[in-house]
Amino acid sequence: MRGYSFASLLGRALRGHRGWPPAWRSADPGKAYDVVVVGAGGHGLATAYYLAKNHGITNVAVLEKGWLGGGNTGRNTQVTRSNYFWPQSAAFFERSLKLYEGLSRELNFNVMLSQRGILTLAHSHHEMEALRRWANAIRINGIDSEVLTPAEIGRLVPLINLDARFPVHGGFIQRRGGISRHDAVAWGYARAASALGVSIVQQCEVTDFNIDNRRVTGVSTTRGSIAADKVCICVAGHTSVLAAKAGFRVPVTSMALQAMVSEPLKPCLDTVVISPVIHMYVSQTDRGEIVVGGGADAYNSYAQRGGIPLLEENLAALIELFPAFSRLRLMRQWAGIVDITPDTTPIMGHTPVRNLYVSGGWGTGGYKAIPAGGETMAHTVANDAPHPLIAEFGLDRFESGALIDEGAASGVAH
Amino acid sequence: MLRIPCPFCGDRDEAEFRCGGELPREIPQPGVDDDAWSDYLFNRDNPKGLVHERWCHSFGCNQWFNVVRDTVTHRIHAVYRPGEPRPALDGPCATAAKSGG
Amino acid sequence: MRNGSEVGRMSSPQPFRGPDGGRIDRGRTLAFTFDGRRYRGHPGDTLASALLANGVKVLGRSMKLHRPRGVLSAGIEEPNALLCVDWGSGLIPTVRATAMPLLDGLEARSQNCFPSVNFDLGRVLDFTRALWPAGFYYKMFKWPDWRAYEWAVRRAGGLGRLPGGADRTGYRHLNGHCDLLVVGSGPAGLGAALEAARRGEDVLLVEQDMEIGGSLLHDPMEIEGAGSDDWLAAALAELAGMDNVRLMADATVAGAYDHNLLTIHDRSAAWRGDGAVESFWKVRARRIVLATGAFEQPMLFGNNDLPGIMLAGAVHKYATRFAVHCGRRVAGVLNNDSGWRSLLAAHDNGTTVCAIVDTRSDLAPALLDAAEERGIAVHRGATPLTARGSFGVQALRFASATGPVRQVDCDLIGMSGGLNPATQLYSQAGGKLRYDESRHCFVPDRDPEGWEAVGAASGSFTQESGTPVRPCAAAPVRTGGQWLDFQNDVTVADIELAVRENYVSVEHLKRYTTAGMAVDQGKTSNLGALTVLGQLTGRTPGEVGTTTSRPQFTPVTIGAIAGNRRGDFYSPPKRLAAHDWHAAEGAVFDDYGSWKRPACYGPDREAAIAREVLAVRQSVGLFDGSPLGKIEVKGPDAAAFLDRIYVNNVLTLKPGRVRYGLMLNENGIVIDDGVFVRIADDHFLVNTTSGNAERICAWLEEWHQCEFFDMQVVQSNVTSQWAVATLAGPHARGVLQSLPGLIDLSTAGFPHMSFARGRLADGMPYRLQRVSFSGEQSYELSVPSNRAVPIIERLRAAAGPGELLPIGVEALMVLRTEKGFVHVGVDTDGTTNPLDIGFGAVVDRKRRDFIGARSLARPNDRRADRRQLVGFEPLDANASVPAGAHFVAVSNGTRRSEGFVTSACDSPTLGRTIGIGLIERGFGRKGEEVLVYDNGRNTPVRIVDPCFYDPAGERMRA
């Protein structure tokens, strides 16, 4: 992709910015496509982009019931990291981080990747052992991680209260981890995919799958029937709903994951801080807002709003760790619907219906996986065989019991 | 914060309860194949709409009971005790239990 | 915070304050400062009204372009007048001056400007603003990478600074219930409250302003035949006299949540320097009446963001409520009758209005007559073009209905683009809105259960002439100079650009341009932005749709939401019954789950642990095992029930005997271990891992109530009822036997894995089990918790002076590591099944079903290359290998983890480093040498049996 640069901005500024073309083309649904991607979130758009770019498949439609990037892609807390315990997870998420590192140039769209470091805290001797196990696993996986003492943490994040109710015993940092701008990722992929010929159809809800002899032949939508050789489901929290339409069940529970922001403030927090045990993470956006995230409301939900108990819990945890934030004001609270798998590892690959593929079960961590998720799903769809990086992420692992339980293995939920 | 009508104690705040999740299907016999076992163990209907689920009034009477709740509106349509049949839900809110709304 | 009286010595006139009128206490004067200069105001003022009275026009700078900003509104919707304020609270950023009560000695400062609000170097961004259109940052800053620019962008972003110093405000949480919650105390809200209160309903009325009365406080009207002041006084008196009514002022309903729980941020006690308190209420309401009024919207014309351009309603409110006349010559820019009412009323109260420019042609004759009476020039069907001025308004240019461009000289512009009901809470609660074309606003349409909107919040605005509001449109001048979002500097040109680039969904528009994303959350900008979006894309605002309102209605102090959950209140620690005794013994306490327990005794951790370990190995040690989980399970089916819970056979256990058992979840993963005791045929005592008792008791309850409900059994967590003193070591029996009344402890009569209960000679009930986690002869003596200290003291006395050393958790961990005893949750994780830790034979021997059994038959659970529990010794006996290190296989220069060290210690008993861990195919690898990796360092170790000490178990059975 080209077209966006300081020079082009300067040039158009002289002409009142009148010459800018649409970032992407809004298409009407056609009759038939080689591939239909259901869901124009980050994963759906990235899958379409890599289908076109890496596999030359451009007769692709991305169908979106609302507006593109309007689901979890536009609601998450923008964290990007690859500090995973299991080699399979680490390889996948490291690929994703590598792609993120080149994404602004690849897409010619600044996704504002800020590799400011992600600090994970331990609050007891035992947690520190678990964190050490995790940090060592990351290094063995070939990824950067550094164990820090409380004193080093105090120097890195001066606002932190090391003597909190659960004192900080140490932590580790992935310096290449950080945040980026979530909307930009969706828009950047949409723009790049559209330029390669992909049709992005918004306000078009898939109401059913057309299945013939356990093979998908297309989809029914609110804007008519669309034939497709292959269909890929990329719908974040709604994986169960779509799977049910296609006649199978998935090991997924949908929950409302909360996040909240304060009023904007001059820079005061330069690192992303995660406390897995206290269930709180915090960062400061480039606009200056303090973004706080925590857990999901503890029951099934498709309502994109958060409740009070978790709000209070998250903010109490924040203040216990960062007393200086108590006089800030909370501006906004929201939730995204995440689909959580029993082992917190995504579900990617084939489904019981032939030529129907699924990318879901992203739980609380789908945003950071967008580039690699798109790249590997495109490969999987194009070749009708899982990309090696996601070979073990298939639905069949639940039958054999070969779960990839990230939280359980590292000893810390994340 | 949901308001949940405990069938033993009456209306109480969500904070007193623990959600045990969607009611599982019946536990299969030990001899079932891996497919049926994993379906029981992991797969969920996870409906968008009415869900039958299990809650425990853990900071109250500590009794488990069943709830019919809408996962979109969070409205509670019915509660019933373990072992009781699933209530028919023809009307907007048809059961002994009051709506949480 | 400056000393008020000192400031008060300075006298300064209030040039824009009228000689009389206003709801201010002119008898008292409050002194305050703004950017170091001293000013005066009166009780009843807001910070904004006091600044305006003193003629201060420029209060801040916009976020992006650093344009000068004055006061826009007279309420919570204010996007511009955001100051840092210290009232003894520390310097709090981004305070809305328009909603901040004026306090004596208050110190206010402008923010987001350098070096000063009147000369801000950041304005260079404004002069070059052609380069910074909406979303400019998405198009550049890609080379070499974003980090190269980010530091500068971050410093440009943000508004105020984090307050320094300690937060001295108290925060409290309160809960409430009511039949009716009325939000807003204008005539509509008060009316609803009165009606319900007279019916006997429990009514709570909440007003965000400092004073109850809403619009009546500045906009008097006749109600029920009375003047509004009288009506208000009567209504307040009546409500005050009813004990089913509560009134809250200076409190904002901030969030509407499920099942009609509303949160209220109560600031009424927040303004004291010392002892300030902010309260966060959670109120469950059966019904909610929304009487929040409406937010007036700005008009679009060039430079409509200049200081001195205000909402017409604000001009009115400052004139009547505060007797502040913000300009000497006011021009109106209007498209609706409400704006007319405001300006006419302001004029009548002393703010001179000289001209009104209305974009509508067909104005009601009454308005024209009213203008003529007052000598106000009216320009109908005119189009406002541009405001002239730089740091304040000097004139307004407009195109008259016939075409020619004209100009009015003025120092203040009062504008009104129509009213938009304040439906944010209604939307939060799930209410649906409808676009009302004649009023050009979004009104409530489908009420959420229990909700009703009344008054202006429902879209019924008072005294309209019937001439519809004319939706505001961009003026035919440069669109880059017409502001929609004043704080974020979003102009009409930004919307045009977004549309050109296909960001035409209202959510895309908001995110791309940042319109409505400022701290006011779009209260004065959302409607304008989506109106312009609609005009550019050929849609009505109704078709464009709105973005969703989320809590908070206005931002709420984070400390208030967190409440007093700080320090120990964040998560109250559990303390041992003998906590103080341990402390007196020099215990170093650590957190073990929610328990505070002695990690060791003495400041030198390593030495203390070694001393304590050797005491147990060589003589005797005393361990406080009280947090050990204790669950009583009783009933005719108790044995059958537990047999389904445990991997182990429960049915064959004899009364008085103890057995070690594992519990699994349904997925076959080990979730807990510990011994269980058969006290009697129908009575068991289940021991769980310390800190796990609640979880396991809940687990048993869930299985019993939901799946095995036909079994006759009850379970009860008695963990905290019994204190446990564990005596371990070769001398344990000798010390313990000296307690009068205890049973005979000889190994023949009371062997390892036995249980007894009874009373000591003095009548103290006890329970005794002979089990060992240390590998030595060991007795766990339980007594009622309140007897913990006496029993410890008696055991100590029995042992003789200095003979019975207390030992901490860390020493016990070393002891059990030496024995290779598994600690569930440390040596196992959420992937470990019982086969992995050597319980394959037990699993296979049990023919009956138990929880998790079926999962253990899956191929993956039987894989040969699973990680299995082993012991290891470094080849260099003293090499340090921490828990968390990994066993690695190195081939072709790449490392691969084969497992990890779960426990490791420097064994005082063996004089070397030992450890246990999980490694692939571990059971078959005894004797093999492998590398252990930690933090860049490899250490060669040999895999051995996990039991390093007394493998035959002779010592613990002795």
pLDDT recorded at residue A2: 86
pLDDT-based confidence at residue A304 (cuts at 50, 70, 90): confident
Are the Cβ atoms of A240 and B45 closer than 8 angstroms? yes
* Alpha-helical regions (H) of A59-196: 87-101, 103-107, 125-140, 150-156, 182-195
Report the distance separating Cα C554 and Cα C212, nearest Å.
Answer: 18
Question: Is the CB of residue C858 less than 8 Å away from at least one CB of chain B?
Answer: yes
Residue A63 clears pLDDT 60, i.e. is over it? yes
| Chain A residues within an 8 Å CB radius of C505 | 67-68, 70, 202
Burial of C893 (0-12, 13-18, 19+ CB in 10 A): exposed
**C314: Cβ–Cβ under 8 A, 6 or more apart, which residues?**
C71, C72, C73, C74, C75, C98, C296, C326, C414
Closest chain C CA to residue B4: C259
Report the distance separating Cα C262 and Cα C282, nearest Å.
Answer: 6
Are the Cβ atoms of B2 and A307 closer than 8 angstroms? yes
pLDDT recorded at residue C463: 58
Report the distance separating Cα A174 and Cα A189, nearest Å.
Answer: 26
**C661: Cβ–Cβ under 8 A, 6 or more apart, which residues?**
C646, C647, C648, C650, C673, C674, C675, C676
pLDDT digits (tens, 9 = 90+) for C25-65: 999 999 999 999 999 999 999 999 999 999 999 999 999 99
Report the distance separating Cα C625 and Cα C950, nearest Å.
Answer: 23
Residue C597 clears pLDDT 60, i.e. is over it? yes
Beta-bridged to residue A296, according to DSSP, are A257
3-class SS of residue C900 = strand
Angle at alpha carbon of residue B42, lines to B40 and B47, rounded to 5°: 90
**Please, what is the average pLDDT of chain C?**
95
Q: What percent of chain C has pLDDT over 90?
A: 93
A-B CB pairs within 8 A amount to: 74
Burial of A306 (0-12, 13-18, 19+ CB in 10 A): buried
Are the Cβ atoms of A317 and C138 closer than 8 angstroms? no
Closest chain B CA to residue A300: B71
pLDDT digits (tens, 9 = 90+) for A379-403: 999 999 999 999 999 999 999 989 9
Neighbours of C741 (CB within 10 A): 12
Residue B97 clears pLDDT 50, i.e. is over it? no
pLDDT recorded at residue B96: 38
CB C768 within 8 A of CB C781: yes
Neighbours of B34 (CB within 10 A): 18
| Chain A residues within an 8 Å CB radius of C160 | 265-266
pLDDT-based confidence at residue C70 (cuts at 50, 70, 90): very high
DSSP string, A213-238: SSBEEEEEETTEEEEEEEEEE--GGG
Question: Is the CB of residue C707 less than 8 Å away from at least one CB of chain B?
Answer: yes
Report the distance separating Cα A207 and Cα A238, nearest Å.
Answer: 13
Mean pLDDT of all residues in A41-46? 98
Question: Which of C173, C558, C664, C861 would you mutate first to test chain A, the one with the most A CBs within 10 A?
Answer: C558
Residue C450: which of B2, B41, B101 has the nearest Cβ?
B101
pLDDT digits (tens, 9 = 90+) for C617-666: 999 999 999 999 999 999 999 999 999 999 999 999 999 999 999 999 99
Are the Cβ atoms of C849 and B1 closer than 8 angstroms? no
- Neighboring chains of A (3 or more beta-carbon pairs < 8 A): B, C
Place of tokens 């066993």: C887
Q: Identify the DSSP state of A357.
A: E
Closest chain A CA to residue B45: A249
Tell whether domain B3-80 is in CATH 3.30.465.10: no
ipTM of the prediction: 0.97
Are the Cβ atoms of C897 and A137 closer than 8 angstroms? yes
Are the Cβ atoms of C143 and A105 closer than 8 angstroms? yes
Report the distance separating Cα C9 and Cα C25, nearest Å.
Answer: 19
Q: Of all helices (H) and strands (E), which one includes residue A102?
A: none
Question: Is the CB of residue C853 less than 8 Å away from at least one CB of chain B?
Answer: yes
Compute CA distances A392 → A96, A248, A405, B33, C917, whole Å.
17, 20, 12, 21, 25
- Neighboring chains of C (3 or more beta-carbon pairs < 8 A): A, B
Are the Cβ atoms of B14 and A309 closer than 8 angstroms? yes
B-C CB pairs within 8 A amount to: 55
| Chain A residues within an 8 Å CB radius of C605 | none
Report the distance separating Cα C562 and Cα C551, nearest Å.
Answer: 15
| Chain B residues within an 8 Å CB radius of A401 | 34, 38
pLDDT recorded at residue C224: 87
Measured distance between the N- and C-terminal CA atoms of chain C, rounded to whole angstroms: 74
Backbone angles phi, psi at C667, to 5 degrees: -85, 5
| Chain A residues within an 8 Å CB radius of C895 | 140
| Chain A residues within an 8 Å CB radius of B34 | 399-401
Residue C680 clears pLDDT 90, i.e. is over it? yes
pLDDT recorded at residue A396: 94
| Chain C residues within an 8 Å CB radius of B28 | 854
Mean pLDDT of all residues in C738-745? 94
Residues 310-329 of A with CB under 8 A from C: 311-312, 315-320, 323-329
Amino acid identity of residue A388, one-letter, is P
Question: Which of C96, C146, C149, C920 would you mutate first to test chain A, the one with the most A CBs within 10 A?
Answer: C146
Q: Give the distance from CA C511 to its chain's centroid.
A: 24
| Chain C residues within an 8 Å CB radius of B62 | 701
Residue C683 clears pLDDT 50, i.e. is over it? yes
| Chain B residues within an 8 Å CB radius of C705 | 63-64, 82
pLDDT digits (tens, 9 = 90+) for C249-274: 999 999 999 999 999 999 999 998 78
Question: Is the CB of residue A323 less than 8 Å away from at least one CB of chain B?
Answer: no
Q: Of all helices (H) and strands (E), which one includes residue C870?
A: strand C867-874
Mean pLDDT of all residues in A214-221? 98
Mean pLDDT of all residues in B51-74? 96
**A383: Cβ–Cβ under 8 A, 6 or more apart, which residues?**
none
Closest chain B CA to residue C282: B1
Residue C209 clears pLDDT 70, i.e. is over it? yes
Backbone angles phi, psi at C328, to 5 degrees: -90, -30
pLDDT recorded at residue A277: 80
Backbone angles phi, psi at C747, to 5 degrees: -55, -35
Nearest to C385 by CA among C460, C331, C426: C331
pLDDT recorded at residue A367: 97
Mean pLDDT of all residues in C204-217? 96
Q: How far is C495 from chain A (nearest CA, A)?
A: 12
Residue C3 clears pLDDT 70, i.e. is over it? no
pLDDT recorded at residue C464: 60
Question: Is the CB of residue A345 less than 8 Å away from at least one CB of chain B?
Answer: no
Q: Roughly what angle, to the nearest 10 degrees, separates helices A87-101 and A370-383?
A: 110
Compute CA distances C80 → B47, B51, C301, C305, C555, whole Å.
46, 47, 18, 9, 15
| Chain A residues within an 8 Å CB radius of B73 | 303
Q: Exposed e or buried b for every residue in A213-242, given b needs 16+ CB within 10 A?
A: eeebbbbebeeeebebbbbbbbbbbbbbbb
Are the Cβ atoms of A166 and C552 closer than 8 angstroms? no
Are the Cβ atoms of C571 and A311 closer than 8 angstroms? no
Residue B15: which of A302, A309, A399 has the nearest Cβ?
A309
Residues 345-384 of A with CB under 8 A from C: none
pLDDT digits (tens, 9 = 90+) for C889-946: 999 888 999 999 999 999 999 999 999 999 999 999 999 999 999 999 999 999 999 9
| Chain A residues within an 8 Å CB radius of B35 | 399
Residue A320: which of C150, C263, C566 has the nearest Cβ?
C566
Residue A323: which of C167, C521, C855 has the nearest Cβ?
C167
**Please, what is the average pLDDT of chain A?**
95
Report the distance separating Cα A323 and Cα C396, nearest Å.
Answer: 49
Give all domains of chain A, ordered by start, each with its CATH number. Answer: 31-78+182-251+343-410 (3.50.50.60), 115-176+254-340 (3.30.9.10)
| Chain B residues within an 8 Å CB radius of A302 | 48, 71-72
pLDDT recorded at residue A410: 57
Question: Is the CB of residue A6 less than 8 Å away from at least one CB of chain B?
Answer: no
Are the Cβ atoms of C669 and A408 closer than 8 angstroms? yes
Report the distance separating Cα B45 and Cα C823, nearest Å.
Answer: 36
Mean pLDDT of all residues in C218-240? 93
Residue C830: which of A147, A315, A405 has the nearest Cβ?
A405
pLDDT recorded at residue B91: 45
pLDDT recorded at residue A279: 82
Residue B89 clears pLDDT 80, i.e. is over it? no
| Chain B residues within an 8 Å CB radius of C707 | 27
pLDDT-based confidence at residue C11 (cuts at 50, 70, 90): very low
Are the Cβ atoms of A309 and B44 closer than 8 angstroms? no
Report the distance separating Cα C958 and Cα C953, nearest Å.
Answer: 9
pLDDT-based confidence at residue B86 (cuts at 50, 70, 90): confident
Are the Cβ atoms of A300 and B39 closer than 8 angstroms? no
> Structure tokens of C922?
């571990």
Backbone angles phi, psi at C307, to 5 degrees: -60, 135
Compute CA distances C948 → C369, C818, C931, whole Å.
103, 5, 20
Are the Cβ atoms of B1 and C258 closer than 8 angstroms? yes
Residue B98 clears pLDDT 80, i.e. is over it? no
pLDDT digits (tens, 9 = 90+) for C602-618: 999 999 999 999 999 99
| Chain A residues within an 8 Å CB radius of C147 | 113-115
pLDDT recorded at residue C294: 96
Residue C6 clears pLDDT 90, i.e. is over it? no
* Alpha-helical regions (H) of C833-920: 840-845
Mean pLDDT of all residues in A165-185? 96
**C835: Cβ–Cβ under 8 A, 6 or more apart, which residues?**
C843, C856, C861, C862, C866
Are the Cβ atoms of A133 and C884 closer than 8 angstroms? yes
pLDDT-based confidence at residue C691 (cuts at 50, 70, 90): confident
DSSP strand E in C555-640: where?
556-557, 574-575, 587-592, 595-601, 621-624, 629-634
**C414: Cβ–Cβ under 8 A, 6 or more apart, which residues?**
C310, C311, C312, C314, C315, C316, C330, C331, C332, C333, C339, C342, C343, C346, C353
**A369: Cβ–Cβ under 8 A, 6 or more apart, which residues?**
A43, A92, A93, A96, A346, A362
3-class SS of residue A399 = helix
Give all domains of chain C, ordered by start, each with its CATH number. Answer: 4-139 (3.10.20.440), 170-291 (3.50.50.60), 478-546 (1.10.10.1100), 575-626+721-816 (3.30.1360.120), 629-719 (3.30.70.1400), 825-957 (3.30.1360.120)
Least confident of A33-37, A213-217, A273-277: A273-277
pLDDT recorded at residue A409: 64
Mean pLDDT of all residues in C305-328? 97
Amino acid identity of residue C156, one-letter, is A
| Chain C residues within an 8 Å CB radius of A26 | 502, 504
